[in-house]
């Protein structure tokens, strides 16, 4: 319902002060005049307010129903406002997933504004969820594709088990590979393809040269929720062939000028504790002061020596033992008026390893690689820094009821690989690092419209501009992959139509217009005296593609909510690997065509009483892929062949009683490439994960205590034969099944004090993680960590 503010200056001032919400800035100076408004009918009333949870955190997109026909949702800051309501008694109802629905009778007085700020209590039920990763907030029941939402409570539970976001996602998201227990997420694909990782819409991935460190670029202490959109999509541009993972950062408490959370914790191996002690400290502040709001967080996490179930030290390359993680986050806001606001945020993530152990290489399939005391000669491996800067302006009162979102961002990222005494792809010892610097602007407009009696809809449209500069060099100055300077301009439009109230039709188009500039370069030497180096003449590589998507969902019945969809994704993926393996002296003769992925999907969701169930089947094809295969010498090169991937996913959640919940998921994926001789070959372990199942059993006897047992299963997979040398090729090793159990428990002493205990690998199972099995590399053949506990204490104020 359109918002009308009072013509009486005193009433207007009161309304603005009640709605004030702060969302930004530091070094930006501006002045925006409030929009003028039509006078409110003196015979009607207005109700405004804010919806929060018990801790004061705002609840965005909560559903609001008012007797008499008014309905809507809270905005991103948890605010709502309804004008033009009939004076008198009204029933006011608020609902959102994971919280108890609340109803309240209110009395509205003509010509006056009533403030109604409410708090919702958590519950163990599932209901409607809202997703914003598609650039426009909408109900999950209206999205014709598979979506997984991890809310703040789920993230908080997993922090106590393992604070790595790669582990959190791997344990909870169907279709995503399990975590590697390393600083990299190599092989952690989504439905067999690379995923585009975002933080508040800022791209973290480096598709030009995938360093596989994009998932671990933020600490979960600043995450409000995680949205995973599955299947190829070009809504955010380059690199989303498998889908999108969007980390949404926390918003300020709107009903408090000053609030926060302090937490301290200890971690360590329970079975073999020697030198495994780690610790975690996190402090956050948040609040709203008139028109200004803020969130500030600082987190430091140190992981001690990691030991396997038999007590041996895990010192694998790019491991997480003796790892130091620092995360600093600031979000500032300014609420300009009822219709517009501006926000600015900055996040610094740093994660490096300074280990007292070096890796003693074992024998694949025979005995594991283990750590022994020693000093690594190279620089600390990991992510020396990842900077994110974002400034966003929002206005919801443009002509034709159009909403505007305008964002500018910058991402600076460096990843440092482990020092090696002898490189497989270059001559002599060395240590490589990937450098990527991205800046861009995103313009998003949303305009509603009607189609007579057929229904109503909206169109989301805009323009994306991205500049991505990526290279890979050795710390001694040698160039491994030359500087790739990409500029991409992409207009897009997405239509949504509610047909006959129950059919949701979505369709969209996006045009990619990209250029990658590469200067003259020399491929890196593979022997002494510059042996094997090739001089390549640089130039500009043009990329142009138009991608489409269409989907239909029928949402009349809770017991059967089906959808079908087709979507395409665009990716300039692994260009760096193609350039570094060049055998031609001319850039134009190197095959660098983009990957256009076609994703077909059908599925449904079901809610019957206290049971929630979802199922989806998908097929993903591309005429050209970039599958990384062993060239016979242990070096992975991009293979440009047609690819065909298919799979299915199932999820279920059941509220047994008010105290007991149970649920789980199962995901299966398979993929093949079509070789030049017409034969079809399985895609290797870097792309295709074995079947994965998850389960949980939750017990919450009181609001102060809850306990949850998690089960993670990865199945077996054996697709490849040994080569003529009697060994498996890189990433073609067989995988045996793994069963792991984790435990999370929370207890609230009071509204301010609480404690949480998490245990990973509860039964101290000795196992080899999936990645160490399929990689079939002696140095990476390491056991997973043994029973590890995390004990945390929290103080909320």
Residue ranges of domains in the chain? 40-120, 130-247, 248-796
pLDDT for res 301: 98
pLDDT for res 142: 85
Per CATH, the architecture of 40-120 is what?
Answer: Sandwich (2.60)
Comparing CA positions, the residue from 190, 203, 233, 215 lying closest to residue 486 is: 203
Per CATH, the architecture of 130-247 is what?
Answer: Beta Complex (2.170)
- Identical fold for domains 130-247 and 248-796, yes or no, is no
Strand-pair category, 44-53 with 70-73: unpaired
As given in the structure block, the two tokens for residue 395 are: 């206005």
Place of tokens 């692994």: 574
Burial of 703 (0-12, 13-18, 19+ CB in 10 A): exposed
* Segments of the chain with pLDDT less than 70: 1-42, 54-55, 69, 97-98, 122-129, 133-134, 632-635
- Asked if 213 and 543 touch (Cβ cutoff 8 Å), the reply is no
pLDDT for res 633: 66
As given in the structure block, the two tokens for residue 335 are: 């609420």
As given in the structure block, the two tokens for residue 130 are: 């809202």
What is the spatial distance between Cα 431 and Cα 697, in angstroms, rounded to a whole number? 45
Q: Which residues contact 29 (CB under 8 A, 6 or more apart)?
A: none
pLDDT for res 372: 95
pLDDT for res 29: 26
pLDDT for res 479: 95
Burial of 214 (0-12, 13-18, 19+ CB in 10 A): buried
Domain 248-796 has what CATH class? mainly beta
pLDDT for res 260: 95
Signed CA dihedral, 776, 777, 780, 786: sign only: positive
pLDDT for res 135: 82
């Amino acid at each position: 319902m359109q918002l009308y503010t009072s013509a009486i200056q005193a009433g207007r001032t009161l309304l603005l002060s009640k709605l004030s919400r702060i969302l930004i800035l530091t070094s930006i100076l501006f002045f925006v005049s409030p929009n003028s408004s039509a006078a409110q009918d003196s015979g009607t009333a207005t109700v405004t307010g804010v919806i929060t949870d018990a801790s004061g955190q705002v609840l965005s997109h909560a559903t609001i129903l008012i007797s008499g026909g008014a309905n809507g949702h809270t905005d991103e800051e948890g605010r709502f406002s309804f004008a033009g309501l009939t004076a008198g008694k009204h029933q006011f109802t608020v609902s959102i997933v994971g919280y108890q629905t609340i109803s309240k009778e209110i009395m509205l007085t003509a010509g006056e504004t009533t403030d109604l700020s409410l708090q919702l209590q958590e519950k163990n039920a599932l209901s409607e969820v809202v997703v914003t990763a598609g650039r426009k907030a909408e109900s999950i029941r209206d999205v014709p594709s598979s979506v997984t939402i991890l809310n703040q409570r789920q993230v908080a539970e997993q922090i106590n088990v393992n604070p790595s976001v790669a582990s959190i996602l791997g344990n909870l998201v169907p279709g995503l590979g399990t975590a590697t227990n390393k600083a990299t997420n190599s092989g952690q694909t989504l439905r067999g393809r690379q995923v585009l990782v975002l933080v508040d819409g800022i791209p973290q991935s480096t598709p030009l040269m995938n360093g596989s460190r994009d998932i671990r670029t933020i600490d979960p202490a600043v995450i409000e929720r995680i949205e995973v959109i599955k299947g190829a999509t070009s809504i955010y541009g380059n690199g989303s062939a498998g889908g999108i993972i969007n980390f949404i950062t926390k918003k300020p408490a709107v009903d408090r000028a000053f609030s926060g959370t302090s937490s301290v914790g200890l971690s360590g191996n329970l079975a073999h504790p020697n030198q495994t002690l780690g610790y975690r400290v996190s402090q956050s502040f948040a609040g709203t002061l008139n028109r200004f709001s803020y969130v500030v967080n600082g987190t430091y996490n140190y992981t001690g020596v990691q030991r396997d179930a038999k007590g041996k030290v895990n010192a694998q390359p790019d491991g997480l033992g003796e790892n130091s993680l620092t995360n600093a986050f600031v979000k500032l806001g300014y609420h300009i008026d009822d219709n517009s606001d501006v926000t600015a945020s900055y996040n610094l993530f740093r994660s490096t390893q300074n280990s007292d152990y070096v890796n003693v290489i074992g024998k694949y399939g025979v005995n594991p690689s283990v750590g022994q005391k020693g000093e690594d000669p190279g620089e600390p491996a990991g992510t020396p820094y990842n900077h994110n800067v974002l400034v966003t302006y929002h206005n919801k009162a443009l002509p034709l009821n159009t909403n505007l979102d305008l964002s500018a961002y910058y991402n600076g990222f460096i990843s440092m690989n482990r020092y090696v005494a002898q490189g497989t792809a270059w001559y002599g010892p060395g240590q490589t690092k990937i450098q990527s610097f991205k800046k861009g602007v995103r313009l998003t407009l949303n305009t509603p419209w009607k189609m007579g009696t057929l229904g109503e809809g909206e169109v989301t449209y805009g323009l994306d501009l991205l500049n991505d500069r990526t290279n890979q060099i050795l710390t001694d100055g040698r160039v491994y992959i030359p500087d790739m300077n990409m500029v991409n301009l992409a207009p897009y439009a997405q239509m949504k139509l509610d047909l006959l109230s129950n059919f949701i039709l979505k369709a969209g188009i996006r045009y990619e217009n990209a250029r990658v500039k590469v200067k003259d370069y020399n491929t890196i030497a593979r022997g002494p005296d510059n042996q094997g180096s090739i001089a390549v003449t640089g130039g500009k590589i043009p990329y142009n593609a138009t991608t489409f998507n269409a989907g239909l969902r029928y949402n009349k019945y809770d017991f059967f909510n089906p959808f079908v969809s087709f979507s395409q994704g665009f990716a300039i993926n692994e260009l760096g690997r193609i350039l570094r393996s060049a055998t031609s002296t001319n850039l134009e003769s190197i095959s660098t065509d983009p990957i256009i992925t076609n994703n077909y999907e059908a599925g449904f969701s079901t809610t019957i009483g206290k049971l929630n169930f979802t199922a989806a089947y998908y097929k993903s094809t591309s005429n050209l892929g970039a599958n990384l295969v062993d060239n016979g010498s242990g070096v992975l090169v991009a293979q440009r062949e047609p690819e065909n991937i298919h799979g299915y996913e199932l999820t279920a959640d059941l509220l047994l009683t008010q105290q007991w919940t149970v649920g789980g998921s199962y995901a299966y994926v398979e993929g093949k490439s079509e070789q030049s001789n017409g034969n079809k070959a399985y895609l290797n372990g870097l792309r295709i994960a074995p079947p994965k199942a998850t389960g949980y059993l939750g017990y919450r006897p009181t609001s102060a205590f809850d306990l949850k047992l998690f089960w993670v299963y990865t199945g077996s997979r054996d697709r490849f034969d040994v080569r003529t040398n009697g060994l498996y090729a890189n990433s073609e090793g067989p995988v045996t099944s793994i069963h792991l159990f984790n435990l999370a428990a929370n207890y609230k002493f009071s509204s301010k004090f609480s404690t949480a205990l998490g245990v990973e690998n509860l039964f101290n199972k000795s196992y080899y993680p999936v990645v160490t099995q399929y990689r079939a590399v002696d140095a990476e053949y390491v056991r997973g960590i043994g029973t590890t506990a995390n004990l945390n204490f929290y103080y909320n104020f």
